[in-house]
């Protein structure tokens, strides 16, 4: 079955440390890929997207993500986490020609001082 | 710049009651979506619309109905609320199916 997997339900990192959030998808073709962030009590906000071309994409708030076709992965990274990055992060995919976005279950990020 | 506005923000219903959630967008987007968010399950698509006057079923459509009479509005209805429909509901819009979606701040709905 087609799916998006975020293996980590929650992650805790120290402020200033680096961050990597994992995302894997199971589709035959390369889909459109997205990362969204959700702060408490708010809707989702787009961090970055990948459609084609350079496999390393830059987003807002200092985030980047790398698409690896061989691993069917689209992991999100940030070199130095700030306390304000504490939130829930969702990976999402849209199949080429499809109408629906499939979201992963989310990874909640905790940042400790 | 309002973006996507959902009303109401909170609501408590009794089992069997009906209600309508309203979503309005001011970005002239063609596509609109209704999701529900439950702990550990991400967002699940209830219904969506690819343009004014159109609606289609998503992943979990049972117990819900929708209408898109005007391009800027997408209504989600619960005809007979059930406790299993307790959730946070999000509306989103996009100008095409593969473009990023813009989300409202959600409606927290409790069914007693």
Is some CB atom of chain B closer than 8 A to the CB atom of A99?
Answer: yes
Indicate left, alpha or beta for B3 from its phi (over 0: left) and psi (-120 to 50: alpha): left
Place of tokens 């990976």: A91
Give the one of B58, B59, B90 whose C-beta lies nearest to A43's C-beta.
Answer: B90
Contact A99 B45 (CB under 8 A): no
Tell me the sheet residues that pair with A50: A33
Residues in CB range of A54: below 8 A, 6 or more apart: none
Report pLDDT for A1.
62
Is some CB atom of chain A closer than 8 A to the CB atom of B112?
Answer: no
Report pLDDT for B1.
63
Query: Over 80: is that where the pLDDT of A96 sits?
Result: no
φ, ψ dihedrals at B98, nearest 5°: -100, 10
Contact of A39 with A52, CB cutoff 8 Å: no
Contact B106 A43 (CB under 8 A): yes
Contact B100 A99 (CB under 8 A): no
Q: What is the DSSP letter of A98?
A: -
Instruction: Find the range with the poorest average confidence among A97-111, B11-25, B77-91.
Output: A97-111
Residues in CB range of B45: below 8 A, 6 or more apart: A100, A101, B33, B34, B35, B58, B59, B60
């Amino acid at each position: 079955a087609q799916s998006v997997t975020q293996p980590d339900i929650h992650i805790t990192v120290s402020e200033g440390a680096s961050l990597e959030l994992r995302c894997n998808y199971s589709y035959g073709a390369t889909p459109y890929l997205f990362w969204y962030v959700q702060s408490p009590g708010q809707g989702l906000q787009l961090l970055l997207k990948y459609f084609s071309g350079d496999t390393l994409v830059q987003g807002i708030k200092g985030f980047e993500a790398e698409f690896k076709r061989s691993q069917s992965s689209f992991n999100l990274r940030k070199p130095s986490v700030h306390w304000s990055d504490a939130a829930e992060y969702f990976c999402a995919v849209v199949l080429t020609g499809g109408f629906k976005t499939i979201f992963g279950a989310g990874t909640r990020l905790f940042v400790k001082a | 710049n309002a973006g996507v506005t959902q009303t109401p923000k909170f609501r408590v219903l009794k089992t069997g009651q009906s209600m309508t959630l309203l979503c309005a967008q001011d970005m002239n987007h063609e596509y609109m979506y209704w999701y529900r968010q439950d702990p550990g399950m991400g967002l699940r698509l209830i219904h969506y619309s690819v343009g004014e006057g159109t609606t289609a079923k998503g992943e979990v459509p049972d117990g819900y109905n929708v209408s898109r009479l005007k391009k800027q509005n997408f209504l989600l209805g619960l005809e007979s609320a059930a406790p299993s429909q307790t959730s946070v509901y999000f509306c989103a819009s996009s100008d095409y199916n593969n473009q990023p979606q813009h989300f409202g701040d959600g409606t927290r709905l409790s069914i007693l």
